[in-house]
Structure 1
Amino acid sequence: MTERCAWAAKSTQLLLYHDLEWGVPTRDERQLFENLSLEIFQAGLNWQLVLSYRPALREALYDFDPERLALLTREQLEALYGNETIIRNHQKIDAIVTNAKVLVALHDLDWSFSEAVWANAVLLRQVHEADVVARFNADLVHTLSHLGFKRIGLKSCYAFLQASGVVNDHDTGCYRRAELL
């Protein structure tokens, strides 16, 4: 039997997410935006629930395309609030739309979300010292908040870094840990 992170054994959906996605390094701007958005939706909820809503969230939020989300009209936003197939927390939806607008504006200035997220990532993946990772996480939260991103806290940002493979937090006995070094 293959050793995995303990949380992955709770359901088939979590197992597939763990084995195929979680912690896989990505530099793709849209994927990073999706990962960040899903962590915003996850706050106060369990990850299994967020994964069950993910297909509907992808459909309703234009596959987390920041360019399209930044152009949402008030009517489209109201429709999202009433969409029973997604997580309908108004503050979380508003934050994701705001974050899309900020990201699009930053792209217009040649700023890269990927570059900001992956700055010093090699160091993080090699050193893996708690204080170094915590400092990087806090700096990223500060930077993103200063730029105008909403609902970015230390916990959600750290979970985003884990999901995006910036930090490899697979358990030491997990087969994915060595694969993703």
Structure 2
Amino acid sequence: METVAAAATAAMIASVRGDDGLVRPMWAATDPLMREYYDTEWGMPVRDEHGMFERLSLEAFQSGLSWATILKKRPAFRAAFDNFDPDLIAEYTDADYERLMADAGIVRNRLKVLATITNARATRALRDEGGLVDFVWSFRPSETPKPRSHAEVPTQSVESLALSKALKKKGFVFVGPTTMYALMEATGIVDTHLLDSHRRGSSGVW
């Protein structure tokens, strides 16, 4: 059984103080690209359709992979998918699919590529009901986690499960509850910054 002292030690090593004096979680402490993403993007509110669709798409591509892999490929993803414009992607043909599957700059997963096209069409259709952004934000919980260590950060929630089910009913795919929780974290709907992180509370939502 884990002792109180061991638990306290795990909580302490969950964060790292950088050479700039700022505290970050381990995953954002070393790689410069991840650190920049953490400091400027992750957890900040996304209120526009384009931004939400891009993040939903990239979170789907990240499934089973590291976020660092996706982040490094993000410029190539944007070039390949017309900067994640759902109107353009919704009109993709078989030729576009073949082009994407031949693009070594992105993750060439057949199901994920097709999911991006399917979700673009679902995003366009959802505009008749208020749009993707309001739909996703409507699943914001009444409170947010307060993790002291990475081990205390949830991987899904009641709300992410409900969002997953609701999006699937609207025709979206590759939107499982864990992927949707990651989306909620990335777009500021929940704040899972560790309590000692310099970014905790930076979204202005919580």
Q: Structure 1-normalised TM-score? A: 0.91
- Asked if 1:112 corresponds to 2:135, the answer is no
Write out per-residue CA displacement over residues 134-178 of structure 1, whole angstroms, 9 at most, x where no aligned residue: 111111001001111011111111001000110101111001113
Q: Residue 82 of structure 2 is aligned with which of 37, 62, 65?
A: 62
Match of 1:27 in 2: 47
Q: Tell me: higher relative CO, structure 1 or 2? Use CA pairs within 8 A at least 6 residues apart.
A: 1
1:91-102 aligned within 5 A: 91-102=111-122
- Give the structure 2 partner of residue 136 of structure 1: 159
Aligned Cα root-mean-square deviation (Å): 2.0
- Please name the residue that 1:146 is paired with: 169
2:184 is matched with: 161
Name the structure 2 match of 1:170: 193
Q: Which amino acid aligns with 1:135?
A: V
| Contact 1:141–1:153 (Cα < 8 Å) also in 2 | yes
The answer to whether the 8 Å contact 1:168/1:177 transfers is yes
Task: Name the amino acid aligned to 1:67.
Answer: D
**Structure having the larger proportion of residues in helix:** 1
Contact 2:146 2:192 in 1 (8 A): no
CA distance in 1, matches of 2:175, 2:61: 11
Give unmatched runs, 5+ long, in structure 2: 1-20, 148-152
Bigger Rg over Cα: 2
- Aligned residue for 2:201, secondary structure, equals helix
Distance 2:66 2:194 in 1: 19
Q: CA 1:4–1:92 in structure 2 vs 1: closer, same or farther (change >3 Å)?
A: same
Structure 1 stretch 156-165 or stretch 4-13: which is displaced more?
A: 4-13
Unaligned runs of 5+ in 1: none
Q: Secondary structure at the match of 1:4?
A: strand
